[in-house]
Amino acid sequence: MGGDDLEMWVSALLYSGLAAEGMTVTALSYIGPELESLRRMYWDGALGAAKKHIDATTAALNTRLAERVGGKALSVMNPAVVTAASVAIPAMLRYVSDYLGCDAAGKGVYADPLEIGIDFTRALYGEGGGNDGGNDEGKGWREKLDAEGRLRLDQRELEADLQGAIAELWATGEPGDPPEITRNGLERFKREYAMLYGWQVEGVDYAAPCTVDPALGPEQRVIDLLD
């Protein structure tokens, strides 16, 4: 999870002359709040060591790319989101459930993966979302850099009011009897998780007949679909 693979990949592009002028390299990461249970996982332990290494790697690559092709490299700190990994990482399921519950109660703003992708694109390329980027191209990402040069897309997650509400939830309730906001958030987590795999999507009639024949016949190849 550190930066070795990224460093080798970028070095190979530079060595082969395949790095485009002005290319941007981004490494997606996560820091999270000061909440002790998460901080131990995401910053103080092995995961944290890997994240610190990716930060050091992107800082070094940023210098190399600027000198060689006028490019840049950034670590991008994303907000917490419902993913398959959110279920497996200790403490994360509870935290994201509280986050979702607070959002539903009007105490914060949760961004789903699509919204995060839009924020990411706008930060790098401006409101236009492309290389032409409109008049604000190149400005958005600079305004979102922290003191360590990381692109921060997690500002809404880390707002003091939201984090205060989550910390209060962690301090209340008993094992097996979580607060109502947490229970509501967990139900929403389940829905968001199901939608990752195409289930519980609003407007989809799952009882409607559909064609399940394979796209490829016995004599077709994947490349044939491109014709």
86 with 80: CB under 8 angstroms? yes
String of DSSP letters for 58-113: HHHHHHHHHHHHS-EEEEEEPPP---HHHHHSTTHHHHHHHHHHHHHTTS-----H
Contact 97, 185 (CB under 8 A): yes
- 220, with CB counted inside 10 A (0-12, 13-18, 19+), is exposed
Sign of CA dihedral 44, 157, 76, 201: positive
The residue count of the chain comes to: 227
Catalytic annotation, residues: 42
Residues 44 and 34: their CA atoms lie apart, in Å, by 11
The rounded radius of gyration (Å) of the Cα atoms in the chain is 21
Degrees (nearest 5) of the Cα angle 116, 120, 126?
130
